[in-house]
Structure 1
């Protein structure tokens, strides 16, 4: 029998679980994307930066494409504030102008990197397509809900695809024109010529 004292086992210091670990992983992924772009994103880099292992990442996201899209969405949601001007037109324009001004922000840089890599990565294309219809639909639906309550829009307009039409058209400008900033007159045109007529016309659409 040894006369050496038995050292009590110590729990791992700083070990994170659940939401805390998930947030650390997403932040690490966002940092890599901002610094080096999607092509440089690897699970090894993210794990090292987050202070965890690849298994912890794969348990939450099946591949780097899913992780990249989740990191982008986390940044985008954190940066969005809902305007409330009292008019649907002004609210919609304000949201588009904010989105346009943040195209060169960190999450704007991430989105450009993701879109540039879509053609070479089927998994990334699938992830973007899967989440494309979201487009901040909760925010836009809230905007429309307020407009319905004010009598500015018919209840039939409260549909996710209708709600996200304006932001989808703005993103299409970035993709098709390859520009980092859309002129304000284009934003006005999107709202006045497409978005508002679509919203208002929903009440008279055939069943």
Structure 2
């Protein structure tokens, strides 16, 4: 990698900043976000932890929302592709457990806090919606494997997984305070997702 890194962020901001310096700032912002939440995050605290000047931060990230979204994109853990277990149910169970582990880990509360802050910060909401990672490609891969095995008929709606599963897992974990254990994942797979995927296709 070159000493200078040019980055284009979700909101269309372009900037040039020493790559090592940029990483230190974004890591500091991400760590503080987890400690204080979005509302409590202060740019001067990020600058102090990263040993950078506030002028540097404001020059490259004019808004707190832009800094936070770049920090999340830089530091969050990338999810591996869902495992091929040999069956549709097994694939869904494995994948939903994987999503559940992310939600109950470090990133879950951090992201939940950002989603709540979206309601009072339109700029943050716009930034987060621009960076949203759809899970449709993973869902389509799982369903395509199932179709090849003969477990799904043509006409299934893989996009329903993206519409339903993350919201239910977040609600169960954070709103209800219930564990995302194997019993709940099995309920989600057996009573909600599999019936929707295997129902008669819409005319």
Q: TM-score, structure 1 length as denominator?
A: 0.69
How much has 1:194 moved relative to structure 2?
Answer: 1.1
Matches of 1:116 and 1:109, distance apart in 2: 11
Secondary structure of 1:17 counterpart: strand
How much has 1:191 moved relative to structure 2?
Answer: 0.9
Aligned partners of 1:30 and 1:68 also within 8 Å = yes
Classify 1:50/1:91 alpha carbon distance in 2 versus 1 (closer, same or farther; 3 Å).
farther
User: Counterpart of 1:192?
Assistant: 190
User: Counterpart of 1:142?
Assistant: 141
Aligned partners of 1:135 and 1:167 also within 8 Å = no
Matches of 2:82 and 2:136, distance apart in 1: 12
Classify 1:71/1:81 alpha carbon distance in 2 versus 1 (closer, same or farther; 3 Å).
farther
Larger Rg: 1
Matches of 2:70 and 2:174, distance apart in 1: 20
- Higher mean displacement: 63-72 or 191-200: 63-72
Matches of 1:181 and 1:66, distance apart in 2: 33
Matches of 2:180 and 2:34, distance apart in 1: 22
How much has 1:155 moved relative to structure 2?
Answer: 4.0
| Higher helix fraction (1 or 2) | 1
| Higher strand fraction (1 or 2) | 2
Q: Which aligned pairs between 1:122-137 and structure 2 lie closer than 5 A?
A: 122-128=122-128, 134-137=133-136
How much has 1:126 moved relative to structure 2?
Answer: 4.7
Q: Which aligned pairs between 1:1-207 and structure 2 lie closer than 5 A?
A: 16-19=4-7, 20=19, 25-46=25-46, 49=50, 51=52, 52-58=56-62, 63-128=63-128, 134-157=133-156, 159=158, 161-164=159-162, 165-177=164-176, 179=177, 181-201=179-199, 204-206=201-203
Matches of 1:50 and 1:194, distance apart in 2: 49
How much has 1:57 moved relative to structure 2?
Answer: 2.4
Give CA deviations for 1:147-201 in whole Å, capped at 9, x if unaligned.
2232222343354x31313233212323431x26334322211111111111122
The CA RMSD measured in Å over matched residues stands at 3.2
Classify 1:155/1:144 alpha carbon distance in 2 versus 1 (closer, same or farther; 3 Å).
same
Aligned partners of 1:100 and 1:181 also within 8 Å = no
What are structure 2's unaligned runs of at least 5 residues?
A: 8-18
Aligned length: 185
How much has 1:88 moved relative to structure 2?
Answer: 1.5
